[in-house]
Chain A
Amino acid sequence: MTQQQVIANWGNYPQLSAEVDELGLLPDVQNYLQQQSPLTLRGNGRSYGDASLGKQVFSTLKLNKFLDLNTESGILTCQGGVLLSEILDVILPQGLFLPVTPGTKFITVGGAIASDVHGKNHHKEGSFSRHVLSFDLMLADGTILTCSRQENQELFWLTMGGMGLTGLILSATFLLKKIETAYIRQTCIKARNLAEIMDLFESSTDWTYSVAWIDCLATGEKQGRSLLLLGEHATLEDVSPNQKANPLEIPQKRKLNIPFYFPRFALNGLTVKAFNTLYYNKQWAKESQSLISYDPFFYPLDSIYNWNRIYGKPGFVQYQFVLPKETSKDGLSEILTTISQSGQGSFLAVLKLFGKGEPEAWLSFPMEGYTLALDFKVQPKVFELLEQLDRLVLKYGGRLYLTKDARMKKEALQNYPHLEQFKQSLPPGFTSHLAERLELTINNKQ
């Protein structure tokens, strides 16, 4: 179904006019790919910037079929347009869970691979690619190749974190993890400053899940004050007798919606600062324990539909970088100082300690060290600030996450050591606004 429309990703910035097509039957898809080139592939549009935007867009949302689920071995095969939320609906009642999940469940499996997404368990269990056994990739000429660590290895690794530029992920096979309950045993610890939160992260690496909410506007001795959330899948022994009766079932909660775009003045330095202080102080005790359902633990913002609208019509950009562990302390401190001085604070920012990255996936984002993700409302002066931050990130040996990006210059990619090889190896036929901005698809121009 062809439709000319204005599309944007989750940050609502940029917004571009595109022709979007959606097909579900294999021969139709094959025909279409052979006719359209270069083509941009798009899942559920939950990347933040311009990664899945382009003039000619193929939406994978009709490639939404489950193909095989082995509950014994915990291996799932499904088409590339299936959403993680749909997977959870099917696997959770069977005592299975996603091996890795980002902070929203409304992304497609194809998107999870193309962005090589990470979650709160990265330090222990790596990014999504680590759990993928194989996938079927359709190239621009309609050829279908099965890719795995043993077969078509080069394409397998190019596609992991490859931003959808190698081909269309028709289906993927990956490992799920077994769980006893749908609950998470959570511990929340308050940290007064950056040094304390970093110590806490480094002494909590045994926990499967860890993440911190950090107040980016706090300065001086309070710089880096944060709440560290640690979690483990609750076992049957951890839950109450009531919950034990139906351990894999969670009572449905009503969802909130942001029905309209907030006006420009709604978020300003004062309201954000007040919110952050309230959030930090919502817990008095140094440490607290609780048992919560998996949904608010993994997807706190998914329960508010269209939360991106609080940033108003012009949208927002998300900024996520990672610094090597050795330079993290100095780097984070300088970056946080720069942000608080600019007064363009983000709501809450998310801090996490990554484990080792995937060196063979050349454009995969994670590497060992600290990653910080924060939102900025789109306004004229924000771009200048972000370029200033880019320079700091590069200075400390860090890099930016393409899936969040809408504005960086190609020079900011220099700490992806295999960038040139990636560009040279990319099969032709696919593109995106992001790829053109960063000149990734040089093979299309020949």
Chain B
Amino acid sequence: MTHTLILGAKSDIAQAIAYQFARHGHSLTLAAREVDLLDPLAKDITIQHQQPVHLREFDGLDFASHGEFYENLPEKPTVVVCVFGYLGDQKQAEGDFAETQRIINSNYTGAVSIINLVAQDLEQRQNGTIIGISSVAGDRGRQSNYIYGSAKAAFSTYLSGLRNRLVKSGVHVITVKPGYVATRMTANMDLPQPITASPQQVATAIYNAYRSKTNILYTLWMWRWILLIIRSIPEGIFKKLNL
């Protein structure tokens, strides 16, 4: 039985991922802040899919606690999915470094802090998969969310380097760029339906990517092409666009 650790398990995407992996025979550790709120979810997965589910308190921003957290896991994972992140408020962050720092730490520093530990362990065990949920927002900086975007860009770059390092140890790294997803985080945004995925679609795509050892996953295929176009606009023109 493969054990999967989900970091930031409270989000809609994370919950869908938990079900998807449990359905395919994975036992789980779900880690999040106020993890007790996930007690119904854990019981539900155990009853519906006969998989043991552990809950562990985890705060991505509390870097100092990560070592102890990983050390004390009930079972060492073979698959680690890093879902936590923070969209934040771009406008506020522009004039408030505390918000900026929170965005960077949630989306980048915190993820690096825990994945560094995971990577050491998996490398030593010569087996496993690390799945990082990054964002298409990291593919090019835009005025509407470049602080979030730059943190995700850094995370994508980190995952790319990690993939390069771990390939020889038989550990695979997947970078996931979901595009728009209809979740609690985006509840107040007016998202264009055709390029907006459901959490379940994202979870299915991630599981399939895990099975087929995809490197970079755009969960809806359109996004690969949208980003290709966005990336190829010359900076001279791009800087004048209202994106």
Contact = CB atoms under 8 A, between A and B. Distances in A.
Interface stretch (A66-74, A194-202, A210-218): A66-74
A65 B39 CA distance: 10
B187 A90 contact: no
A25 interface: yes
A189 to B, nearest CB: 40
Contact of B47 (A1, A2, A26, A66): A66
Interface string B40-65: 11011001100000000000000000
B184 interface: yes
A25 B47 contact: no
The binding surface of chain B is classed by DSSP as: helix
Contacts of A68: 43, 47
A1 B44 contact: no
A335 B28 CA distance: 59
A25 B43 contact: no
B187 A1 contact: yes
Interface in A26-58: 26-27
Nearest to B10: A25
Interface residues of B, number: 12
A65 B41 contact: yes
A79 interface: yes
Given A1-B184, A2-B187, A66 B37 contact: no
B187 A67 contact: no
A27 B44 contact: no
A343 B10 CA distance: 57
Interface string B8-45: 00100000000000000000000000000100110110
Interface in B144-195: 182, 184, 187-188
Interface of A: 1-2, 25-27, 64-69, 79, 90
28 contacts: A1-B182, A1-B184, A1-B187, A2-B187, A2-B188, A25-B10, A25-B37, A26-B37, A27-B37, A64-B44, A65-B40, A65-B41, A65-B43, A65-B44, A66-B43, A66-B44, A66-B47, A66-B48, A67-B40, A67-B43, A67-B44, A67-B47, A68-B43, A68-B47, A69-B47, A79-B40, A90-B47, A90-B48
Interface of B: 10, 37, 40-41, 43-44, 47-48, 182, 184, 187-188
